[in-house]
Chains A and B, each alone.
Chain A
C-alpha cells in the first residue's frame, strides 16, 4: 500500500534561514508523482512544487526546491531564505498511479513557524 510519512509535527526556523521539511514515501509503483502543498491559517491549500518519479533533476520553484532521493524514497522540501509568510502547515503528497484515479495520498503535515 502507498504511504506518505512526515515525521516532524512542528518546526521552527529563523527568518532568512533555510529549512528542510522531511517526507518519506512507500510505493511499489515505478511511476508516481510527489507534491508539496502549503496551508496557511486561512485554510486554502497552495500547490508549491511537483516531482515526477522519472525526473532526473530535483524540482525547483523560486525559493522552494525538492530534494528527491529515489533510492531512499524521500522527497524533502527545502525552503531557502525563510520569510514570515512561510509560517503555515506543509503537506507532502503522492499521486496514485494505479487505476489513473488521480488520488493524492497526504502525509500528516508539518507546521512551520518562522521566527523574526
Chain B
C-alpha cells in the first residue's frame, strides 16, 4: 500500500513553455500533498503544501505565479511550471500524507526530471 505515482518521469521542454506534473496517490486518499525540488546531491527543498479544495501554501521564496499548484481531488495534485526557463531545470518530487494526527507519514512519488532548453 501507500503508492504514489508521478507523471511524467522525464520532460524536456523549450524555454518559455509551461509544463504540468501530476502526482497521484494510488491506493489512499491524501488531503495533503507536498511538492519538493531537489538539486543534484542535495537535500529536498519544500516548495509548497497542496491541500485538497483550498489554495496551496508556498514556502518563502517560492514564486506562486510561476509554480502553480492545483489539488483537484483527494488523489491528485498537479504542479505547473509556467514559462519555464533553464534555471527551472531540476528534479521535482511530490509526496502524499497519510495517517492520523501525530502518526502520519509521507510517501513519495518517483520524481520528475525537468530539463528546460
Contacts and interface: CB of A to CB of B under 8 A. Distances in A.
Interface of A: 31, 33, 35, 37, 42-47, 50, 52, 89, 91, 95, 97, 100-104, 106-109, 111
Contacts of A108: 42-43
A106 B44 contact: yes
A109 B49 CA distance: 22
A7 to B, nearest CB: 14
Interface in B12-49: 32, 34, 41-44, 46, 49
Contacts, number: 62
Interface of B: 2, 32, 34, 41-44, 46, 49, 57, 91, 93, 95, 97, 101-111, 113
Please classify the interface of chain B as helix (H, G, I), strand (E, B), loop, or mixed, using the class held by over half of its residues. Answer: strand
A8 to B, nearest CB: 14
A43 B110 contact: yes
Given A31-B102, A111-B41, 4 more contacts: A43-B110, A47-B107, A47-B108, A50-B105
